[in-house]
Every structure is written in structure tokens, then in C-alpha cells.
Amino acid sequence: VEIETMSRAGAVVAKTLALLGDLAKPGVTTAHLDEAPETYIRSEGGVPTFKGYRGFPATVCTSINEEIVHGIPSPKRRLAEGDIIGLDLGCIVEGYYADCAITLPVGPVPPRVQELLDVTRESLDKAIVQCRAGNRLGDVSHAVQSHCESHGFGVVRAFVGHGIGRALHEDPQVPNFGEAGRGPALKPGMVLAIEPMITMGSWEVRILEDRWTAVTEDGSLAAHFEDTIAITEEGPEVLTRIEPRS
Ligand code: MG
């Protein structure tokens, strides 16, 4: 029943991100990207998670280029061709949370930048495959780290994924680095928000004066993808992706 409700929350965030993906074009402000989601989420019976969370002022986190996570939408910040933008969004349906993020290119980007996006997404997929009863949390973490580092990318340490359910952040923490075979055992009924944050340079981060926006210390570009995944007897069930319609 919980997973059923969480999958409804997951479908709402996935659909909202799909709408935003269509809007993220050169010339659009990040404030504009923040306009539609709250109305849409509420029309679907959900409540946005981030707005008001510890004072965060918006429904969507918009993180451009060297911004890793927690960027604040602004009417002054316009997307330019060649940018990459991370969109992070959460919602609550009947008391259950779902959390999801994607990073998109704004128009064409150089091949190595596209590779950053592709490899980060792939690392999330590889982590999801590890979400099986009998595996350990370190298997999930190691899947992200080994894939990204083998392509020469940096793995952010300062922020991690998390358990999720009746609260946005529950135990356990889900680092994007770690040793296979270590850590807590994964069990059916656990739900994890796995969120690789990967850079073209080092893993070190810094927080801007707005006290939210996390950027790479070396100014290198960063990508962030996140899904909410339930561990079931049958294996991983991704709650935050829309199944393609035939
Ligand atoms: Mg999260």
C-alpha cells in the first residue's frame, strides 16, 4: 500500500519533470521554470516538498553548470545555449514522498559534457540494478562511484542520497561512493532516493552566499540525476519514471 501511494507521488514528479524538460530552452528564466510545477502538482492531489523546506523558496531546484544542487530559481537567471541545467523536484501524496532529478542540456553541448550527463544517468541505472534483497548498501554506492570514476569524473562526497517514505530524508544515507559488499543489508520494503552528483573535475564543493546553492569548488560542470526506488521481492521498482506509452 505504501509503495502504491509512493508510486503515485513518483508519477507526479516524473510528469512534472517531463513538462519542465520541454520548457528548458535558451532565453527562459529559471523563475519561469518554477511557475507551472506547483499548480500541476496540486492539481494532481500532491503537495510540493521543497517549498518552505528549511526556508527554501521554490518548488523546483534549478542548478546551472557548476551548480551541483539546490540552486534557487530567479527571474534574473536566463538559460543560454550550451548550459546544462539540473532540475530537482519532490512531492507528497497522502503523506508519502517521492524525490526525482534530471540534468538536461540546453541546446547542443560539447561531447565531453554530453558524456558527463550520460555517464551520470548510467551510474544511476547501475545503482538501481543493485537494489535487490540480499545485496548491501555498499553495492549501490560502489556502482555509482566505479562507473563515474572509470570515465574520469569526480564523485561529490558532501551530499548523498537517502531513505524516503513518510519523510523526505530517512535512514539510511546513500553515499555515491563506497565499497561493494559493505554496509546495511537491503530488504524488501526499503525505499531509497539514489542521487549521483558527478563533476567534470574534483569532488570538492562550496556553498554560495545564498546559503543554498552548492557549486563545485573548482568551477567544473556538475550533473545530478535522482530516482526513488522501492526494493521489492521481485527486485527494484523505480517509482519516478514514466513508462513509455505504446
Ligand atoms: Mg533527494
194 CA to middle of ligand 1, Å? Answer: 7
Q: Which pTM was predicted?
A: 0.96
195 CA to middle of ligand 1, Å? Answer: 6
Q: How far apart are CA 140 and CA 132, in angstroms?
A: 10
99 CA to middle of ligand 1, Å? Answer: 6
Q: How many CB atoms lie within 10 A of CB 66?
A: 21
226 CA to middle of ligand 1, Å? Answer: 7
Compute the radius of gyration of the chain from its Cα atoms.
Answer: 17
246 CA to middle of ligand 1, Å? Answer: 30
What are the distances in angstroms from CA 56 to CA 33, 71, 154, 177, 182? 16, 10, 27, 27, 34
Residue 85 and residue 31 in contact, taking contact as beta carbons nearer than 8 Å? no
110 CA to middle of ligand 1, Å? Answer: 28
79 CA to middle of ligand 1, Å? Answer: 24
22 CA to middle of ligand 1, Å? Answer: 22
Question: Pseudo-torsion of CA 146, 151, 156, 160, nearest 10°?
Answer: -40
Dihedrals φ, ψ of 92, to 5°? -120, 130
161 CA to middle of ligand 1, Å? Answer: 6
pLDDT in tens, the chain (246 residues): 689 999 999 999 999 999 999 999 999 999 999 999 999 999 999 999 999 999 999 999 999 999 999 999 999 999 999 999 999 999 999 999 999 999 999 999 999 999 999 999 999 999 999 999 999 999 999 999 999 999 999 999 999 999 999 999 999 999 999 999 999 999 999 999 999 999 999 999 999 999 999 999 999 999 999 999 999 999 999 999 976 544
160 CA to middle of ligand 1, Å? Answer: 8
Smallest Cα–Cα separation from 165: which of 195, 190, 135?
190
Q: What pLDDT does residue 243 have? A: 66
The residue to which cell 500541476 is assigned: 40
137 CA to middle of ligand 1, Å? Answer: 16
Q: How far apart are CA 118 and CA 40, in angstroms?
A: 28
Q: What pLDDT does residue 242 have? A: 78
158 CA to middle of ligand 1, Å? Answer: 13
Q: H or E element: which one contains 143?
A: helix 137-150
Q: Percent helix, strand and coil across the chain, each rounded to 5?
A: 30, 30, 40
Smallest Cα–Cα separation from 73: which of 55, 86, 61?
61
